[in-house]
Structure 1
Amino acid sequence: MKFQKNHFIDRVLDPGAAQKIERTAFWARELWLLPILILAALVRVYGSTASAIWCDEGSSLLMSQYSPALIWFHSAHDVHPPLYYFLLHLWIEVFGNGIFSVRSMSVVPGILTVALGVWLVQLIATRRAAILAGVLLALLPIAVRYSQEVRMYSLMGFWLMGATIALVYWVKNPDRHRYLVIYSLLMAASFYTHYFTGLCVLSHWAYLFFMRGEKPRLITRPAWWIANGLIALLYAPWIPGLIDQLQHLEQLKVGGDVGWILPVTRYSLPSTIWQYLILTDGLSLKWPLYFSLPLAVALVAGAVALRDRGPYKFHVLLVTYTFLPLVVVFLISWITPLLVERYLMFSALGLPMILAIAIDQIERHFRYVAIAMLMGILGVELVGLSNDYQVDDEQFDKLVSYVNEHYAANDRIVVSDLFWYFSYVYYNKTGSEPLLYTPKLANGTSGRPNSYGFGTLVDQDSDKIYLDSLETLPGDSTRVWLISNSEPPDDFSSIPSDWTKVTELKVGDTEVRLYSIPPH
C-alpha cells in the first residue's frame, strides 16, 4: 500500500515536489522526537552555570586562547588531543567566553547525541524502544553531567554514537562504501578528541569478529580494512605528538597530569555503574542494594544480547559497545590505573538504550513488569540528576569576585597551585596577571611546573608569573592577595614576619588573605 501511494504521487507530481511531500510526511511522523530533544535540552541547560569553572575547565579555556598552531603544540605536551580545543577556540570567537556560552559547547553535542541514540535504536529495534531510549538518554545523569562541562567528553560521545550508526548502515549494506567513509571520518574526529576512542574501535572489531552470519565475513572484507587504514592515515599527523607524550610520561607524572587515578578494587566495577546512574559510587549503600542494581543491569544486558535473533546481531553490538570498554579498562587498571567514569562516558550512553530495548521486549508479555521497570529506572535517574544539580553555595568564583571588588592599584595576586590558577585566570577582572607560587620542594629541587601537562600552558611565561619566594615580590608592591587551599598545612608557610594581615575570606575549601607590605 505504501509503495502504491508513493507511486501515485510520483505520477501526478514532478519528482522534486514528490520528494518534498515525502520528506514532509516523514518528519510529520517523527514529531515525537521533538519533545525528547526539548527534554534533553532543558535538563542540560538547567544548572549549567551553577558551578564555578574548575581546574580542568580553566585549562580548556586557557588552551583555547592560543592560535590553532599553538593549540596543536601545547596539546602535544598535554594529555589530550587538540580537536576539542580547536572547536572551542572557534566557538568562543563566535559566541564569546561567558560561562553559559563555553558550557554550551558541550550542551549542544549532548543534545544531538540523544537524537543519534534514538536513531540508532530505531535502526536496530522498534520505534517504541527508540522513544524509551530517547527519554532515558535525555535523563542519563552522567551524560547530563558532562554535557555541562568545558571538556571533550560530550563531543567524544557524539562522534562515537555517529560512527556506530554508520557501522550499522554498512553492516546492513556492505557494498555501500560511503557508510565506511563516514565511519572513518567520525572515528578519526573522535581519535583527535580523546584517546579512549580506541576502546570503541575495539568493541566494533569484537562485534564483527564474532558475527558469523555474513559470507564472506565482514571483518575480512578489504573495505573494512581500508576504512581502518583511512582512520590511521587521517590520524598520522598527530602520531609524533602522541609519541612525544609517551616519551615524557615522567614529566607528566611530576605535574600530576597522569598517575593521579586511584587503583581499582573489587568494588570499582559496580561503583562505575552507580556513577553512570546517580553520579556517586554507591559505597554508602547497604551491600544488598549496592550489588543489586549493577547485577540487574548486567543480567538485563546479557538477556538482551542472548535473545537477539536478528541476522545482524545489533543488540550484541550495543551490549559490546557498552560493556567491553568498561571491562577492558577495569582489567588494565589492575596494572596501570585508568578507570575514570568520564573517560568512559561514550560507552555509558549505551546503557539506557539496552534498558529501553529490554523494557520494550518485556512489555509484549508482562506489561506491568515493564512499566515498573521503567518507573524504577526513571527514579534512579532522577536521583542522579538531583545529585548533579546540588551545588555548594560557596563557589570559587565568589572568592575571585571578592578580590576583583577590593583590588587596588599595585596589588599583587599570588595563587598557590595550578589547580586554582586556571580557574582564577578565568574569573580575574583586575587587569593584573596572577602570579603562581613555586617554592622549592622539600628535597631542594625546583617547584616550578615543567613544560608538559598543565605546565605547558604557563611555562612559556615563567619569567612573568612564577614566584619562587614571597620575599621576591616586586619592590613596588604595597599589598598582596594570597589564594590557597583553606585546609592545613598552609600552602604559604613562609609568610614574611613584617607583613600585616588586613583581611581574609574563606570560600569552601579555598581562602584568600590580603596582606599589607611595608615599604622597602
Structure 2
Amino acid sequence: MRAMDAAAPGSVPLADPEARPEPDASAPVSAPAHTTPTVRPTLSSPGPPGDAAPAPPALAEDPEGPPFGHATRQLLAAAVVVVVVVGLVLRFWTRSDLWLDEALTVNIARLPLHDLPSFLRRDGAPPLYYVLLHFWIELFGTSDLAVRSLSGLFGVITLPLVWVAGCRLGGRRVGLAALVLLASSPFAVRYDTEARMYALVALLTVLGFLALDRSLDRPRPGNLAALAVVTGLLLYAHYWSIYLVGTILLWLAFEAVWGRPRWRAGARASLVAVLAGCLSFVPWLPTFFFQSRHTGTPWAVP
C-alpha cells in the first residue's frame, strides 16, 4: 500500500499486463550469473576518436605465397640446395663422345679470335658461344669433359635463377616445382651436356625474364640497362632468339598503349631498352645476311 500511495501521477498503471516495472535507480544492476557478456564488433561511427575500438591492422599480402615458419624456411632452403646439387651431378655425369656438331664447334672455337668471324660466315651461327668457348679451352683444354663443362656451368647457374623466377611468378611452391622440373628434365640435361650454345640460350632467357620483370615494376636505369644487355647477348647467342625478341617487342608495344595502367610506364621504358639491345646486333647484320644466302639456316635462300 505504501508503494501504491507513493506512485506519481502519469506512471504506468499496474493493471496493464503488458507494462514492465521500471528498475529502481538506487538498486545495483548486476548481470545474471548464468549469462556471458557478448562482445560484438562495431563499425566505426562519427564521434570522438576514443569512442570506437581501433580496427585491427590489415595483413599485408605476401607476393611469394603464404608465410612460412622458420623451420619450414630452413627445410625449403635445404630442398633447393639438394635439387641444385642433383642437377649439377646430372649435368656433369656424361660418358659419351662428342658428336659431329660438337666437334665442329670445338674446332672453330680453337681458332684465333681474329679468324672466327670469317669461319662463322660459313657455319650459320652467331659468335657469342664460340668466343666464350675459345677462352674456356685456353683455360681447361679440349677434352670432352672440359669443352662440355662450359654448357654444364651455364645449366647449373640457370637452376637457382629458375627458382627465383618461379617465386616471382607464383610463390615459393611454384619456384620449387619449376626448379625440380628443370633439374630433372632429360631434355634440359641433354642440352646442358653438349658443347653447343643451347644452355647459354636458356640461361640468357631466364635472365631476360628477370630483367624484364624488374623493369616493368621499377623502370630504373640499372634494370633497363640489364634488359638491353641481355637482349643483345641473346641475339648474339642464337638466331632463334630473333623470334623471342620479336614477340616481346610486340607484347611491350601493346602494353605500352592498351595494357594495365600500372605497367604502361614500365612497358614504354622496357620497349626502348629492348630496341637498344637490338641495335647492338646491327654490326653483325652483314654476316647474318651472308649466312642466310650461303648456309643451311632455316631462312636461307634455297
TM-score (norm 1): 0.41
Matches within 5 A, 1:103-502: 103-174=148-219, 176-209=220-253, 211=255, 212-214=259-261, 217-218=264-265, 221=268, 223-248=269-294, 252=295, 257-258=296-297
Alignment check: 8 A CA contact 2:109 2:134 kept: yes
Deviation at 1:199, TM superposition (A): 2.0
Q: 1:215 to 1:81 in 2, by over 3 A?
A: same
- 1:52, 1:113 → 2: CA distance? 25
- 1:143, 1:66 → 2: CA distance? 29
Alignment check: 8 A CA contact 1:208 1:218 kept: no
Q: Which residue of 2 aligns with 1:85?
A: 130
Q: Which residue of 1 aligns with 2:114?
A: 69
Residues 239-266 of structure 1: per-residue CA shift (max 9 Å, x gap): 1111221233xxx3xxxx347xxxxxxx
Residues 202-242 of structure 1: per-residue CA shift (max 9 Å, x gap): 33234435542125725762x33431232123212211111
- 1:184, 1:28 → 2: CA distance? 37
Helix, strand or coil: the match of 1:150? coil
- 1:114, 1:210 → 2: CA distance? 31
Deviation at 1:70, TM superposition (A): 0.8
- 2:141, 2:169 → 1: CA distance? 40
Q: In structure 2, list runs of 5 or more residues that go unmatched.
A: 1-72
Alignment check: 8 A CA contact 1:205 1:219 kept: no
Please identify which structure carries the higher strand content.
1
Helix, strand or coil: the match of 2:238? coil
Helix, strand or coil: the match of 1:66? coil
Residues 181-213 of structure 1: per-residue CA shift (max 9 Å, x gap): 101111211111100111221332344355421
- 1:236, 1:95 → 2: CA distance? 33
- 2:275, 2:100 → 1: CA distance? 37
Picking from 55, 58, 82, the partner of 1:35 is 82
Alignment check: 8 A CA contact 1:162 1:186 kept: yes
Q: 1:168 to 1:151 in 2, by over 3 A?
A: same
Residues 361-402 of structure 1: per-residue CA shift (max 9 Å, x gap): xxxxxxxxxxxxxxxxxxxxxxxxxxxxxxxxxxxxxxxxxx
Q: Which residue of 2 aligns with 1:322?
A: none
Amino acid at match of 1:36: V
Residues 35-82 of structure 1: per-residue CA shift (max 9 Å, x gap): 121011111112x2x222111011001101111111122112321001
Deviation at 1:167, TM superposition (A): 0.4
- 1:242, 1:198 → 2: CA distance? 12
- 1:122, 1:219 → 2: CA distance? 21
Amino acid at match of 1:53: L
Deviation at 1:33, TM superposition (A): 2.4
Q: Which residue of 1 aligns with 2:144?
A: 99
Alignment check: 8 A CA contact 2:227 2:274 kept: no
Q: CA RMSD in A?
A: 2.4
- 1:41, 1:237 → 2: CA distance? 36
The alignment of Structure 1 onto Structure 2 pairs a total of residues equal to 225
Picking from 58, 75, 80, the partner of 2:103 is 58
- 1:169, 1:258 → 2: CA distance? 34
- 2:201, 2:263 → 1: CA distance? 32
Helix, strand or coil: the match of 1:192? helix
Alignment check: 8 A CA contact 2:155 2:192 kept: yes
- 2:155, 2:238 → 1: CA distance? 16
Q: In structure 1, list runs of 5 or more residues that go unmatched.
A: 1-25, 260-335, 339-520
Amino acid at match of 2:83: I
Alignment check: 8 A CA contact 2:164 2:175 kept: yes
- 2:262, 2:235 → 1: CA distance? 31
- 1:202, 1:131 → 2: CA distance? 30
Helix, strand or coil: the match of 2:126? coil
Amino acid at match of 1:239: L
Helix, strand or coil: the match of 1:42? helix
TM-score (norm 2): 0.68
